Amino acid sequence: MRRRFFRSAFRSVALLAGALAASPAALACDKAGFSVLIDVGHTPAAPGAISARGKTEYAFNVALAAAVEKELRARGYASAGGLGARSAALRASRRSDAIRASGARLMLSIHHDSAQPRYFETWTYQGRQLSYSDRFKGWSLHVSQSGADPSGSLRFARLLADRLKARGWPFTRHHAEPISGEGRALIDPARGIYRRDDLAVLRSSPGAAALLEAGVIVNRDEELALDSAPRRAAIAEAVGEAVDRFCDGS
């Protein structure tokens, strides 16, 4: 009887050990304890780029950040959150301090893109003369190699890039153009990932960090897509999938 008991117990332990070895990723990701910080790029006082139809980049960033936070919470990341409205009152140095103090395992800074002034044209929209450039479109990702977790930052950026590409959205290469204001190094040319050691928002993160330029809002067609709830939800879903993979170590 005792031998059968010990044999049975040994088999149970062996089966449990096998299950643990077969699925380490499933056990590695504690979503409730995995802190994700969503940084809203720019502020009302310094709103960033102006879209082809006169909307501020900051407004685009706020809307997309809200969609991303909603998606992450739906996936079980209880500590998912961001600077949100508080970022509007933070100067650059205090913003970096807030990011550093967050203790976040992962930080994503949300932005929308523009182009160099040499590529702008003008058009009239609702009685206003505005600048636009339809020359470029697409998203890009930016990481620092001088931050707290450069390898983790690049890994997350690759996971997110793959999910954006899978949805059929192109990335833009215009930041690598050798002109004034650009000339950024593409550290993963197949995925649209740039090296940006100059960005304090990335260097300040206590964990892995990436900056997402969700698309080019001075491009008139892409602006309309980016300003729609379905596109924001789809981008948020891509972020959620990437965070899941990053969290479970896959």
Report yes or no on 46 lying in a domain: yes
Report yes or no on 16 lying in a domain: no
Average pLDDT, the chain: 88
Going 83 to 89 to 92 to 97, the CA torsion angle's sign is negative
Report yes or no on 51 lying in a domain: yes
Report yes or no on 25 lying in a domain: no
Q: 101-110: per-residue pLDDT in tens?
A: 888 999 999 9
> Mean of the pLDDT values across residues 98-122?
95
Number of domains in the chain: 1
Q: 33-73: per-residue pLDDT in tens?
A: 999 999 999 989 999 999 999 999 999 999 999 999 999 99
Report yes or no on 184 lying in a domain: yes
pLDDT number for residue 6: 39
Taking 80 as the threshold, does the pLDDT of residue 95 lie above it? no
pLDDT number for residue 29: 87
Report yes or no on 2 lying in a domain: no
220 band by pLDDT with thresholds 50, 70 and 90: very high
Question: Is the model more confident about 18 or about 94?
Answer: 94
Pairing of strands 208-216, 140-143: antiparallel
Taking 80 as the threshold, does the pLDDT of residue 17 lie above it? no
Task: Report pTM.
Answer: 0.86
Report yes or no on 66 lying in a domain: yes
Please, are residues 8 and 76 in contact by the beta-carbon 8 Å criterion?
no
Cα 55 from Cα 71, distance rounded (Å): 24
For residue 227, what are the domain limits?
31-247
Q: 155-175: per-residue pLDDT in tens?
A: 999 999 999 999 999 999 999
Taking 70 as the threshold, does the pLDDT of residue 93 lie above it? no
23 band by pLDDT with thresholds 50, 70 and 90: very low
Query: For the domain that residue 42 is a member of, what is the CATH number?
Result: 3.40.630.40
Report yes or no on 188 lying in a domain: yes
> Mean of the pLDDT values across residues 185-202?
97
- 104: number of Cβ within 10 Å: 24
Question: Is the model more confident about 109 or about 10?
Answer: 109
